[in-house]
A and B are shown apart, each in its own frame.
Chain A
Amino acid sequence: MAIPLRRTIPHLFMIAYVIIILVPFIFILFSSFKANNTEIATHPFGLPKSWEFGNYKEAWVKAKINVYFFNSFYLAFTAAATGVLFSAATAFAITRMKFKRTSGWIYQFVLIGMLIPGNVLFIAQYLLVQKLGILDTHWSLFLPYTAGALPFSVLLVSAFMKSIPHELEEAAVVDGMNVFRMFFQIILPLTVPALVTVFIVNFLGNWNEYLLSFFFISKDALRTLPSGMVQFRDAFQTNYALVCTGIVFSVVPVLVMYAFLQRKIIEGLTAGSVKG
């Protein structure tokens, strides 16, 4: 009797925790299908009386969630992909090519970046993009996003590349392969697990980034989801159902990704913080 009870105690606490995590989502999900504020206020916990899919259509088109969604997606994707490519190239150069001393310096130099907390550079970066004349264009997000991910990416990919045996390129050199083919056809395919981790971490970071996207972009058509959502909330403050719909739109893609790649995501994000 005593032992089964003792075993269930941890589960009780954990179930309480899980409920606290999930309830806000369920509240938002139900609210997004409700007809109006009165229904949310009077039946906050119940299922909607009739499922209002119209909210989704309205939010997607009228409230321009589709625009924000597309901007977020392509910026997060291109910046993450560019970051992966650049960091892989750099990691290849500093771990596999024969410039040991220079490589050591470059590595240390790039790692300094991990010591600087993100928003400390915010104003200086703002002034920089202003000076470059790219304020209020997607370049002002693409470039800092790509650059911001580099220190962590170079660190992680280099660590991975170091473990690949050197005999591989020796054989390739003997066979007369050039550096580019060696990089693209031998080393990159072997580094894929690290590259995927880095890509996911960067993609999520960019998809969620708020500070820069809110202050560097003022044209509504260029906004990304996190900043667009804030704008959207301020504009539709009185229509709770519609804002909840917007939240669903921005949360679902990440959750879908998480459902498929949870192990990679957890591993990547925690590695990033511990090594940093």
Chain B
Amino acid sequence: MRTTLRNPYVYLLFVVPTIALYFLFFIYPMLTSVFYGFTNWNGLDTKDFIGFDNFVNAFKDEDFRNSIWNNLYILLFSCCVQVPLIIVFSLLISSVKRFQGFYKTTVFMPSILSTSVIGILWGYIYDPDVGLINNILKTFGLDPIYFLADTKWALLSILITNAWQWMGFYIVLILAAILGIPKDIDEAAMIDGATGVQRAWYLTVPLIKPIINVVIMLSIAGALRVVDIVLVMTEGGPAGATDVMASYMVNKAIKYGDYGYGTALSIIIFIFALVLTALYQTLVVRRQEKVEY
């Protein structure tokens, strides 16, 4: 009777387009990545197998090491500056009744825009001649700062732009968790005389730890993935001050045709992401006791 749903040809027809595309653009590139990573291919000559040379060279490569430090700086910035701010702002939004929806939609808005357009937009905000910030500095009689051309400022400027774009996204994630906590817990604490700050710190934050962990993991992954904004705003300059692993990889591969080396770098990025999230999982997430309510 149920042959209709057992027809293997129909099944194949429904499944094959997805699998074919998926295989072609995920699995196949993954396999070739591993292969190219061990060769010295530069797009022209033969592909010679050179073992781990690419990986060894990568860590000897001062520019790449510099880009790893920049990635770590981004990672620390997002975990130690952004995440606490995100938590504070989501607590603030959850504590108000009026305009809650408005705040939520507004802070979320930048995260739906194209990173490249945001990079261009903020390039103007930072512009030394006409930019918004330097105009403000000018009214105070200060000298303009070359935000994106000064090695001292460039990376921080990019990070601020990045935070401006993505913080709202995480705020909304955490806000949803906060609003999902049953109201009676909070009310009970209020009757017992706990102040707003106490309730936020001793009740809400422990209850939303799981989602905070998610946000931290996403921030770790995000910090290693930063690339568009760097390419658009500074192309890694000035003097490599904003180069991150991914932008360095893209430039090596596309500009110089160093496919073998570039692919090895992409494998390193992947391993970094894997190791860091696994470390966070085992060191932090596993140790926390589970909260239930």
Contacts and interface: CB of A to CB of B under 8 A. Distances in A.
A264 B143 CA distance: 46
Contact of A266 (B14, B117, B172, B196): B172
Interface in A11-54: 11, 13-14, 17-18, 20-24, 27-28, 31, 37, 40-41, 44-45
A102 B269 CA distance: 33
Given A20-B164, A86-B18, A243-B124, A250 B114 contact: yes
Interface string A139-166: 0000110111011001000000000000
Contact of A117 (B11, B111, B117, B224): B224
Contacts of B176: 270
Contacts of B132: 23-24, 27, 44
A79 B253 CA distance: 27
A250 to B, nearest CB: 5
Contact of B21 (A150, A179, A250): A150
Given A24-B122, A99-B11, A124 B4 contact: no
Interface in B100-131: 102-117, 119-125, 127, 129-130
A210 B246 CA distance: 14
Contacts of A183: 14
A98 B266 contact: no
A143 B103 CA distance: 37
Contact of B28 (A24, A128, A174): A128
Interface residues of B, number: 90
A250 B89 contact: no
B120 A229 contact: yes
Pick from B130, B218, B259 the residue with the most CB of A within 10 Å.
B130
Given A86-B18, A106-B15, A121 B266 contact: yes
B116 A210 contact: yes
A27 B110 CA distance: 15
A110 B18 contact: yes
Contact of A93 (B15, B89, B253, B262): B15
Contacts of B273: 117, 120
Interface string A253-276: 011001000100110011001100
In order of increasing CB-CB distance, the 7 nearest A-B pairs are: A124-B29, A208-B114, A147-B25, A93-B14, A226-B116, A210-B116, A90-B18
Interface of A: 6-7, 10-11, 13-14, 17-18, 20-24, 27-28, 31, 37, 40-41, 44-45, 86-87, 89-90, 92-94, 96-99, 102, 106, 109-110, 112-113, 116-128, 143-144, 146-148, 150-151, 154, 169-170, 173-174, 177-180, 182-183, 204, 207-211, 214-215, 225-227, 229-230, 233, 240, 243-244, 246-247, 250-251, 254-255, 258, 262, 265-266, 269-270, 273-274
21 contacts: A18-B103, A31-B130, A44-B135, A98-B2, A122-B253, A123-B266, A126-B254, A128-B29, A143-B24, A147-B25, A147-B26, A173-B4, A210-B115, A210-B231, A214-B116, A225-B114, A243-B124, A255-B109, A266-B104, A266-B108, A273-B173
